[in-house]
Amino acid sequence: MAAIPESLLELVQKPARYAGGEVNSVVKDKSTVKVRFAFCFPDLYEVGMSHLGMKILYSLLNKDPEVWCERVFAPDSDMEKLLLERGLPLFALESRDSVGDFDMIGFTLQYELSYSAILNMLNLSGVPVLASERHDLKNLVVAGGPCACNPEPLCDFIDLFMPGEGEEVLPEIVELYKKAKALGWSKEKYLSEAAQIKGVYVPSLYDVTYKEDGTIDSVTARDGAPLPVKKRIIRDLDKVYYPEDFVVPFVDIVHDRAMVEIMRGCIRGCRFCQAGFIYRPLREKHADTLAQNARCLCDSTGYDELSLTSLSTSDYSELEPLLDDLLTWTDDEKVNLSLPSLRVDNFSESLMEKVTTIRKSGLTFAPEAGTQRMRDVINKNVTEDELMETCRTAFMGGYTSVKLYFMIGLPTETDEDVLGIIETAQRVVDLFYSLEDRPKGKSVQVTVSVASFVPKPFTPFEFEPQDSRDELHRKQRLMLSALRSRKVNLDWHEADTSYLEAVFARGDRRLGKVIYDAWKKGCNLDSWNDHFRFDLWMESFSENGVDPDFYALRRRDTNETMPWDHMDYGVSKNFLIKEYKKAVSAETTPNCREKCAGCGANGLVGGVCCGK
């Protein structure tokens, strides 16, 4: 008997988000499986269902007839209210059973502002939020994803983390769980055995001590747990599992399309970009494997849009052959190809023609900074000429809207750099009107989206302070005052959310109490404006005697022990320090294909990666 009566769905907005029954969703007989796994995404259905990692791991786990993996998303406010009023638990979509009935409860950690939602989802499921209050093997709470590179703020809540890539390690910990269940192991026994699997971090097996100044003194491992903990990595993307189908949602989700992952990692080494370091080294998938994946997915889902995803799509070495292959059928079948993450320095005319055979929408580029000096500091190796040339190509090809991503608050930034953002956008507008062959009778629209820089672990800027919120606000006003053209749309991220992101990104175990209390006060789904309660977060910091500025705004010494230093992502700290020093003197580092910079990540794949 499912925990949730169907009639509940009549009382909420967009009930199809909770009803399950989507094409390709997996329903099994629970009496025939050994392990039930609740794959939880700590955000709304529309966001979670857009996430490729969840699709891969859902299909992968369900390939095993002894395992049933189901999906769980954060309920929207109306559903949450109903569940609480009626004393009903949070449920998984496929069976509508309570999440509390599941053996393993897995969370994906995609962004720091989703942490409060994890606590909220556990609590709605009737599962104790604190790991120390969950005594049994059942309801084991595990987590992976990019934020697992610094899992410390979540150590009070999660039993086991999986730093790195999940396709191999996740089935391994599930397999061990089958054994543990059959042999009646205790939770402690399971965790101590699991800690021996490469790519597993069991936080309860590590002790952290602090110095008087609040920085970390030491991290020690108990019970034979490894130190450091090495991330898991997939060596060969052509051989790793890729789903033949995706669950096809009924409601409109954020990224509603077929996706193939053309490569993992990035050759560029932009110094602000965490993904660029934690997914090293670059591994490409072959065009023929991808063509096959794409064909299969479009057939099984009926999607009319196919996205080639990666951190920097135009760096994929077989991009044009892949597009030629795909265009042999996508055109006829009216499948629209989308190429996110294009760079301005290698966006060619022939590439643009291939993308636009089907549909012309806007183009998005990320110069990231407004002056050459600033771009050199962050190692975004593109020039303004390249940006202008790309925009020229796009305008001549019929595009009239361009979106440009920038950041403020970058290390060494001056007002000149900030104003350079607006000047760059203005030059793109001027370029449009200078072109004789511009699209006739149309005006240009340049959207400038400005994020506030958040220093992240495992990047050369992990030592850097974030700009204070006052300073970020001042820089936002400075840009606004410099804005002259109505053809430029300026929008920016809220500094408050970026500040909290900075606190948790480089946080340590002492933040657990803050997260717990903030959630108790009502914090949940902090990345949504209508939920975000900065005042409650600040209250929780102050009541726990924790200074958030210590985490967000403090400059670290390069020999300070970082809360994540016991995690090994393959990139050496010495390399990060070297890059940091080069950044400060605006010295660039060539990309991995031009010249190996010696980051150390090649050790993860047997010594050879893409470098020369």
Partner 1 sequence: MENNGFRDLRLFYTKTGSAKYISHLDVMRAFQRAFRRSKIPVWYTEGFHPHLYLTFALPLSLGYESLSESVDFRVTGEISDDDLSSRLAEALPPGFRVMSVAPPEMEPSAIKYAVYDVSFKVPQAGRDAVAAAWRECFGAQQVNVHKRTKHGEKTVDIKPSIVLTDIKEDGGLYSVEMKLAAGTEFNVNPSLVFEAFEKSSGLTTAEHTVIRKAVLIENGENFR
Beta-carbon-side half-sphere exposure of residue 609 (alpha carbons within 13 Å): 30
Binder among 21, 214, 362, 398 for partner 1 (CB under 8 A): 21
Taking the least distance from each CB to partner 1, the nearer of 359 and 555 is 359
Taking the least distance from each CB to partner 1, the nearer of 10 and 136 is 10
Q: Provide the minimum distance between the beta carbon of 565 and partner 1 in the complex, in angstroms, as a whole number.
A: 48
Q: Provide the minimum distance between the beta carbon of 249 and partner 1 in the complex, in angstroms, as a whole number.
A: 9
Q: Provide the minimum distance between the beta carbon of 302 and partner 1 in the complex, in angstroms, as a whole number.
A: 3
Taking the least distance from each CB to partner 1, the nearer of 19 and 396 is 19
Distance CA 19, CA 387 (A): 46
Taking the least distance from each CB to partner 1, the nearer of 10 and 491 is 10
In order, the DSSP letters of 62-109 are: HTSTTEEEEEEEPPPHHHHHHHHHHTPPPB-TTT--BGGG-SEEEEE-
Q: Provide the minimum distance between the beta carbon of 369 and partner 1 in the complex, in angstroms, as a whole number.
A: 36
Residue 250 contacts partner 1 per CB under 8 A: yes
Taking the least distance from each CB to partner 1, the nearer of 112 and 305 is 305
Nearest to 579 by CA among 462, 460, 461: 460
Torsion angles phi and psi, residue 53, rounded to 5: -60, -40
Q: Which stretch binds partner 1 (CB under 8 A): 15-23, 36-44, 314-322, 394-402?
A: 15-23
Q: Which of residues 44-83 bind partner 1 (CB under 8 A)?
A: none
State the binding string over 342-381 for partner 1 (x if CB under 8 A, else -).
Answer: -----------------x----------------------
Residue 333 contacts partner 1 per CB under 8 A: yes
Q: Provide the minimum distance between the beta carbon of 4 and partner 1 in the complex, in angstroms, as a whole number.
A: 12
Taking the least distance from each CB to partner 1, the nearer of 298 and 402 is 298
Binder among 110, 116, 150, 301 for partner 1 (CB under 8 A): 301
Q: What 8-state DSSP symbol labels residue 407?
A: E
Distance CA 589, CA 120 (A): 43
Parallel, antiparallel or unpaired: strands 160-162 and 206-210: unpaired
Report the largest interatomic distance among the alpha carbons of the chain, rounded to a whole angstrom.
77
Torsion angles phi and psi, residue 57, rounded to 5: -70, -30
Q: By rule CB under 8 A, what count of residues binds partner 1?
A: 27
Distance CA 337, CA 17 (A): 27
Q: What 8-state DSSP symbol labels residue 157?
A: T
Taking the least distance from each CB to partner 1, the nearer of 440 and 486 is 440
- Whether 140 contacts 161, CB under 8 Å: no
Q: Which stretch binds partner 1 (CB under 8 A): 192-200, 203-211, 249-257, 460-468?
A: 249-257
CA distances from 54 to 106, 145, 162, 290 (A): 10, 10, 14, 19
CA distances from 212 to 23, 237, 364 (A): 57, 46, 47
Taking the least distance from each CB to partner 1, the nearer of 27 and 227 is 27
Q: Provide the minimum distance between the beta carbon of 248 and partner 1 in the complex, in angstroms, as a whole number.
A: 6
Residue 20 contacts partner 1 per CB under 8 A: yes
State the binding string over 105-144 for partner 1 (x if CB under 8 A, else -).
Answer: ----------------------------------------
Taking the least distance from each CB to partner 1, the nearer of 5 and 214 is 5
Residue 19 contacts partner 1 per CB under 8 A: yes
Parallel, antiparallel or unpaired: strands 263-264 and 283-284: antiparallel
Parallel, antiparallel or unpaired: strands 229-230 and 258-261: unpaired
- Whether 526 contacts 497, CB under 8 Å: yes
Distance CA 509, CA 153 (A): 5
Which amino acid makes up residue 365?
A: F
Q: Provide the minimum distance between the beta carbon of 571 and partner 1 in the complex, in angstroms, as a whole number.
A: 42
Can you say whether residue 464 is alpha, beta or left, with left for phi > 0 and alpha for psi between -120 and 50 degrees? beta
Binder among 26, 234, 248, 596 for partner 1 (CB under 8 A): 248
Distance of CA 479 to the CA centre of its chain: 28
Distance CA 339, CA 360 (A): 12
Which residues are CB-neighbours of 504 under 8 A, at least 6 positions away? 112, 113, 115, 153, 511, 515, 551
Binder among 303, 395, 406, 504 for partner 1 (CB under 8 A): 303
Show the tokens assigned to 319.
């991009």
Q: Which of residues 522-551 bind partner 1 (CB under 8 A)?
A: none
Residue 252 contacts partner 1 per CB under 8 A: yes
Q: Which stretch binds partner 1 (CB under 8 A): 143-151, 162-170, 298-306, 307-315?
A: 298-306
Q: Provide the minimum distance between the beta carbon of 9 and partner 1 in the complex, in angstroms, as a whole number.
A: 5
Q: Provide the minimum distance between the beta carbon of 38 and partner 1 in the complex, in angstroms, as a whole number.
A: 20
Taking the least distance from each CB to partner 1, the nearer of 6 and 78 is 6
Q: Which stretch binds partner 1 (CB under 8 A): 9-17, 343-351, 389-397, 491-499?
A: 9-17
- Polymer length in residues for the chain: 612
Which residues are CB-neighbours of 198 under 8 A, at least 6 positions away? 169, 230, 232
Residue 300 contacts partner 1 per CB under 8 A: yes
Q: Provide the minimum distance between the beta carbon of 92 and partner 1 in the complex, in angstroms, as a whole number.
A: 15
Angle, helices 534-543 vs 495-505, to 10°: value is 40
Binder among 23, 130, 227, 254 for partner 1 (CB under 8 A): 23
Taking the least distance from each CB to partner 1, the nearer of 248 and 275 is 248
Q: Which stretch binds partner 1 (CB under 8 A): 7-15, 80-88, 275-283, 536-544?
A: 7-15
CA distances from 556 to 216, 350, 478 (A): 12, 46, 28
Q: Provide the minimum distance between the beta carbon of 361 and partner 1 in the complex, in angstroms, as a whole number.
A: 10
Taking the least distance from each CB to partner 1, the nearer of 244 and 389 is 244
Residue 334 contacts partner 1 per CB under 8 A: yes
Beta-carbon-side half-sphere exposure of residue 1 (alpha carbons within 13 Å): 2
Residue 86 contacts partner 1 per CB under 8 A: no
Bridge partners of 192, per DSSP, are none
Residue 244 contacts partner 1 per CB under 8 A: no
Start-to-end C-alpha separation, the chain: 60
Residue whose structure tokens are 């050459």: 372
Q: Which residues bind partner 1 (CB under 8 A)?
A: 6-7, 9-10, 14-16, 18-23, 248, 250-252, 298-304, 333-334, 359
